[in-house]
A and B are shown apart, each in its own frame.
Chain A
Amino acid sequence: MQSKQTDRSRKNYSLWLSAWKRLKKSRMAMFGLALFAIICLGAIFADVIAPYPYDFQNLDETFQFPNANHWFGTDSVGRDIFSRILYGGRVSLQIGLVSVLISVTLGGSLGAIAGFYGGKTDNLIMRTLDILLAIPAILLAITIVTALGPGMFNLMLAIGVSSVPSFARIVRASILSVKEQEFVEAARLSGCNDAHIIFSHLVPNIMAPIIVQITLSMALAILSASSLSFIGLGIQPPIPEWGAMLSAGRAYIRNYSHIVLFPGLAIMATILSLNLLGDGLRDALDPRLKN
């Protein structure tokens, strides 16, 4: 009996498990999750699903409108847009995920340290980040990529670093609002060190704004990657990337709008799914909203 009781309490013990239960109740969040899962699966299994290789040119079939052979039509050199979107998802999603990971770890820790310690530390960190913030994000990314040279990882790094300041500011502001609460003092009283207080007590309390920022930044990162590809500093052709496809197709937008329509839809669907999922996660991760 005793052990059974223990088992049961261990079962709903995990924060993630109970968050998942709450997430399941939100229809929009589940829709977002499903859409995002489909996009991810499409990107992962692009080899299997795609009817053509991404760089296969068929000059007899250029500018085809969507039809049975080419579901999303073909572009100016006769490449299958559907296949290119699947392969392009690999690049775009990776850039989105990794660059946000970079900015959330870097910006998050800097912001948390600045907010927690305040005073000189805060000033030093935040003023340095203000300098970064004064440079337009895209210009900063361009500078970093030109300095490091084009390439997938450098691109992620550039985009990640350029959104560090915004993460730092959000985390700092949120830390400031929770650090004066009594439970922080109580944690210190029971002998916690600063790192433990920041990462076990404060950060879980500010997940909501962080998650929202993550979903928004991911969308922005995908767009920034597209911009960089557009000026030739991002992904190098012929590797497909949604933003690059978009910019390549812009010349034909008047007569063959499907060339830009489908990459645009892919970007939109990804961002929409992430935003829906992010909203749902924000609510699900807050146990106070549990009912």
Chain B
Amino acid sequence: MDEKILEIENLAVEYRTDDGVVKAVNGLDLTLEKGGTLGLVGETGAGKTTTALSIMRLLPDPQGVITSGSIKFAGQDILSLSKGELRKMRGQHISMVFQDPMTSLNPILTVGDQIAEAIRLHEKISRAEAAVRAQSMLERVGIPPNRYSEYPHQFSGGMKQRVVIAIALACNPQLLIADEPTTALDVTIQAQVLALMNKLKNDFETSMIIITHDLGVVAEMCDRVAILYCGEIVEYGSLEDIFDHPEHPYTKGLFSSIPDLDTRASRLTPIPGLAPDPSRLPKGCKFANRCSMKRPECVKTDPPVVNLDDLHRVKCLLAQGKDAEQHATLG
């Protein structure tokens, strides 16, 4: 577990549009251990997908620009790779599962061909061998191999997502990024797909990043969780840290906005307000205008990242005192 597969340091990404500069990711630090599963949680526009696309180096060109920071994959700096090296990396070492399986498969190629293609892009094997491999991949994701030559429209949504997963894992990548892999599926199928991903992740010894806004998915799959807000990680820690001892007001707000099965509430408790416009971010804490525990100094200074213990860190002024207290009690 010690070996780091992915290290992101101080990553900042901007989208330069005609209407101004949109700061999508602002100084993001992340590490992922080999074999680990990281959940990136945040609301729409928090920079989850932008982070994933930066790792794949597939930000929209020329609008998306990585302005600072470094991304290291297995010790190698991704930002300095050439086009050809990037192509080799994509699919073979890092692959990605998209949100909507309906549109991420080519409608006029058979599913088997699409899996075989992914294999043949990275390995020098004959068509027949690739077809055999593709059939065994289909079998591994729970689709009968005799459906090799059927087209995407002949599959249900859940099965299409299985095919997408089969394509992503066809070359046995070291890192799988799943961008809201279950959002487009209904709940029963979600559970099946998540269980399948968990199983395959263990079988293939793949590390995984799951991007989601569904804390249930996180609880099911991840051992590390990062809560994103306005392109920053506001809280990071192990699954237990985040779920049992959330420290950041935003994380707490997320949990309290989930309906509780035991109490019969007629209304949910949402976090008031909206996330600030990413092209005009406030100077101080970006969550301050929605925070129920806001203090005057919050709007003035950008809160520092406070390490509560080895893993658990929070970007909030309120946590600063706790850090000292904890150290005091420990010492």
Q: Are the C-beta atoms of A187 and B146 separated by less than 8 Å?
A: no
Q: Are the C-beta atoms of B98 and A186 separated by less than 8 Å?
A: yes
Q: Are the C-beta atoms of B145 and A5 separated by less than 8 Å?
A: yes
With contacts A5-B146, A10-B131, A185-B58 taken as known, whether A192 is within 8 angstroms of B121 at the C-beta atoms is yes
Q: Are the C-beta atoms of B149 and A189 separated by less than 8 Å?
A: no
* Interface hit among A88-96, A147-155, A283-291: A283-291
Question: Is B193 on the interface with A (CB-CB < 8 A)?
Answer: no
B96 contacts across to A, CB distance below 8 A:
186, 189
Interface of chain A, helix or strand or loop or mixed? helix
B110 contacts across to A, CB distance below 8 A:
13
Which of A9, A181, A201, A204 makes the CB contact (< 8 A) with B103? Answer: A181
Chain B interface size band reads: 35 or more
Chain A interface size band reads: 20 to 34
Interface digits, A172-210 against B, CB 8 Å rule (1 contact, 0 not)? 000000000111011111111100100011001100000
* Interface hit among B86-94, B256-264, B270-278, B294-302: B86-94
Once bound together, how far apart are the Cα atoms of A269 and B58, in whole Å?
52
Q: Closest CB of chain A to B112's CB: distance in Å?
A: 7
Q: Are the C-beta atoms of B91 and A12 separated by less than 8 Å?
A: no
Interface digits, B303-323 against A, CB 8 Å rule (1 contact, 0 not)? 000000000000000000000
Q: Are the C-beta atoms of B95 and A190 separated by less than 8 Å?
A: yes
Question: Is B106 on the interface with A (CB-CB < 8 A)?
Answer: yes
A254 contacts across to B, CB distance below 8 A:
none
Question: Is B151 on the interface with A (CB-CB < 8 A)?
Answer: yes
A204 contacts across to B, CB distance below 8 A:
106, 108-109
With contacts A189-B96, A190-B95 taken as known, whether A183 is within 8 angstroms of B106 at the C-beta atoms is yes
Question: Is B117 on the interface with A (CB-CB < 8 A)?
Answer: yes
Q: Are the C-beta atoms of B108 and A188 separated by less than 8 Å?
A: no
8 A Cβ contacts from B164-183 to A: 164, 167-168
Q: Give the A-binding residues of B (Cβ under 8 A).
A: 56, 58, 87-92, 95-96, 98, 100, 103-110, 112, 117-118, 121-122, 131-132, 135, 145-149, 151, 153, 164, 167-168
Q: Give the B-binding residues of A (Cβ under 8 A).
A: 5-6, 8-10, 12-13, 181-183, 185-193, 196, 200-201, 204-205, 286-288, 290
Interface contacts beyond A10-B149, A205-B108, A288-B151: sample of 14 additional A-B pairs, CB < 8 Å, sorted by A: A182-B98, A182-B104, A183-B104, A183-B107, A185-B98, A185-B104, A186-B96, A186-B98, A188-B58, A189-B58, A191-B91, A193-B87, A200-B117, A286-B108
